[in-house]
Structure formats: structure tokens, C-alpha cells
Amino acid sequence: MTVIDANRMHEIETRYPEYFHRSFRQRFGGLMILIATLLYSLYAVWFFDLPKLFAEAHWERIGIYLSQWVSYDVQPEFRIGDDGLIDIRYPRFSPLGDNPHPDWLVNNPDGSITVSISGTNRSVTVSKSETIVTAHGISVPVEVSSGAPKVVGPVPGWMTVYDDNVLADLGFAGNVSISVDRVKIRKRFIGWANFIFDTQSSFFDKPVGEVVGLIVSGPRIKPDQSNLSLAFDDIWNNSEWQHGDVWTKLFQTIVMAFLGTLLGSLTAFPLAFLAARNITPNRLLNQILKRFFDFLRSVDMLIWALFLTRAFGPGPLAGSGAIFLTETGTLGKLYSEGLENIDNKPREGIKSTGAQTVLVHRYGIMPQIVPVFVSQTLYQWESNVRGATIIGAVGAGGIGLKLWEAMRTNANWENVAYMVILILIVVFIFDAASNALRHRLMGTKAH
């Protein structure tokens, strides 16, 4: 064990004072940051009134919307006539088509109709005098022969009785609404109904093997058109999913992002040379251009889109213009700062040979900045693919407007899911492509 005397200790303290005589900030800085973070968190909880917000939030809607993203429902309605006959009706645009005969609906010998909601565990039997709902291991009869529907026996928790209606909630499988003269059933299915062919298509409701056979070697359904061409037209013009319109709008979004980023980079590139202090030694011009860049990028892309849609009307031109203005400011700032941070030695060496200014820029500056500029531009292009979707919602064209229209109906959530998945795929592809190009230009390996 080594013993350090007082003189040696004093010598060490003198040589390394930062370890023995630490300031207040050094000693308590970490604790102060922790306390400040805690106080700010408490303030945020109070400012946003988070307890009340969480208590009053409609959390059940999350499950409802998510279920509608991956499912669809069929809504048969059973009308009980005065003669006791039961008339079955479907909505006008039913996923089952104009003349449905589903196998989950059975006509019984006694005139009643049984609908299987979910296997054998959940079913509804409709007759002229009563409706029997079977769920959760019990069967609950509801009499419909009197002035108002009446539940026979105790009312289970999943059933609600109103003055003229009884509602049975069967969970994800659907629900049943029972009144005196009609029974409405909502039966839910996993999947996307009629995603390939809609109910008006000649290939609707045909097995896959039969469709393939018709397309490959079957007789023509329409004499003046091949079955392959007819199938493509039916898919592209699917009235329920609108594949053609969705893909056209998606392509518009990609073009908007590409065109806006390209024009912004081409405009920002020469302006950046004038804004860089070490390239253009004119302080007034430097400051004017830098403030111009600040102005363009301080106005959000969404605001530019709103301005341009008022000026040119809704469409992709307004979206491309909004991206162009924003990217001119953003890339102009990035380019000018990149130019101000270059190594001046190559530039000075070429200038000392008496070369013209254009050649000095070409051989003394461009080799240093091109990889960085291209990398920054690719990143902005990738980001603008996402941004173009947002500005489309305000009328700037592209799939964003289509997505907003589907969300506004509050009923076409499966269409919303379809478009969101397409957007995600496009973003992933462009992200991977831009990353690969950036790493190739920078001479690094992608991870």
C-alpha cells in the first residue's frame, strides 16, 4: 500500500486542479438537469391536463378502427311482414353482389332463418314471433310479436334494451339490432372484400382456378376483347378499391417529390455559391441570400401548398411548387454551409496556376462537395416522398388527397389501410435506394 504525504498530495492538487477543485456546475450539473427534466415533465402533465385527457379518451375506437382496417362486414336485414313471411334485403352496394346466397344463412323448414355469426358459438334465428340470439354459451329469446321487443328472461351484459330496439353486441364478429318488424345483422369477415374483382366484374365470385383458366384458354366473355385485357380492366377500374386511381395518385406523389426536389436543388446550387462567404466575398449579397433561404424554409411546406392551391387550384402543380420552394431554402442553406466548410488548399493551389474562376470551382471545390451535396439531396428527396403525401391532403394532389377523402367518410378504413401500406412500401423502397446511393457516393459500406 502506497502512502502519499502532504507535500505530494499538494503537488498533485496543483497539477490537476480540475479533479480536486470542481466548480458548482461540475459537481451538481447532472443533478440539476435531472431535477429540471422532472419539473418540466410535471409542468407538461399539468399544461396538457394529461389525466383528464387519458380518462376521457375514446380508447375503444382504436380497436374499432384497427378491426375495420383488416375486415369488412355484411349487413343483411330481415323484414317481418304481416303475413309472417320474412323478406331478406341487403344494402345497395353489398360485398356479396346483387343476388347473394351465402352459405352462412340457412332457411329452416318451419319458415325461420338462422344466421351463423361466428361458427356455431354465435348465431341468430329469426322467426315471425321471436328472434333467438345465441352467444357466450347461452340463447336469449327476444319476442317481437307485441308493440315492442321484449327479452325473455334475464338480460345478459352483452345485450342492451331500448324502448323500441334491442341491441346485442357480439364483439368482433358483429352485432344484432332487433325491433318489432325487422332484424338487422352486421356480420364481420377477416380480409378485404372484392379486392381483385368488384361485384360488376364478369370474374366476380369465381374460383381462382376458373379465373386463370378463362384468362389462359377460355372462350371470350366479350367478343371484342380478350379475357386477359378484360380482367386487367376489371382490376384497374374496380369501383370499390379504385386501383387505377389510387396507383395514378401514388405515381403523382412520387413525381411531385422528385420534381420539387430536383428543381429546388438546381435553384439552390448556384445561389449557394453566391451565399457562401469564402466563395463570394460580398457580405451584403451573402446576408440577403441567407435570409432568403431562411424565409423559404421557415414557411412550412403545408403552408406553401395552401397558398399555391389558392393560386393555381388543386393538383400536383401546387404540390410540386410547395416542395420546390421549401427545398430551395433548405438545400440552399445546406449547400452554402457545406461550401463554407471546404478545405481551401486545393482551391488555392489551382488558383495559383492562373486558372479561370470556373476551373477553380470545377477542380478545387466540386470534388469536395459533390458527394455531400448529392447525399443531402437524396435524403431530402426521400423525406419529400412522405411530405408530398401530407400536402396532398390540402388539395395539392397525389395520394394524400385520396387518403384524406377515404378517412373523411369514416367508413372506408380498409381503403385507408390499403393506401397506407402502399405509401409505406414506397417510402421503404426509396429509403433503401437513397441509402445505397449515398453509401456508394461516400465510399462507405451500407449496414
If phi > 0 it is left, if psi is from -120 to 50 it is alpha, else beta; for residue 323 that is alpha
- Whole-number pLDDT of residue 5: 67
CA distance 331 to 339: 12
The pLDDT tens digits of the residues spanning 241-290 come to 999 999 999 999 999 999 999 999 999 999 998 998 888 888 899 899 99
- Whole-number pLDDT of residue 65: 80
How far is residue 367 from each of residues 117, 318, 379, 441, measured CA to CA in Å?
69, 35, 20, 11
β-partners of residue 178 are: 166, 183
Q: Are 231 and 203 in contact (CB under 8 A)?
A: yes
CATH 1.10.150.120 fits 243-442, yes or no: no
Average pLDDT over residues 31-43: 92
Q: Which range has highest mean pLDDT (109-113, 202-206, 326-330, 441-445)?
A: 326-330
Question: What Rg, from alpha-carbon coordinates, does the chain have?
Answer: 34
Give residue 403's pLDDT band: very low, low, confident or very high (50, 70, 90): confident
Q: Are 200 and 190 in contact (CB under 8 A)?
A: no
**pTM of the entire structure?**
0.79
The pLDDT tens digits of the residues spanning 219-248 come to 888 888 898 999 999 999 998 899 999 999
Task: Indicate the range of 16-20, 138-142, 165-169, 391-395 predicted with least confidence.
Answer: 16-20
Average pLDDT over residues 35-57: 90
CA distance 327 to 333: 10
CA distance 286 to 284: 5
CA atoms within 13 A on the CB side of 1: 2
CA distance 78 to 62: 31
Give residue 178's pLDDT band: very low, low, confident or very high (50, 70, 90): very high
- Whole-number pLDDT of residue 292: 93
Mean predicted lDDT score pLDDT of the chain: 85
* Domain ranges, ordered by start, for the chain: 73-190, 243-442
Neighbours of 19 (CB within 10 A): 10
CA distance 445 to 436: 9
CA distance 132 to 141: 4
Average pLDDT over residues 112-135: 88
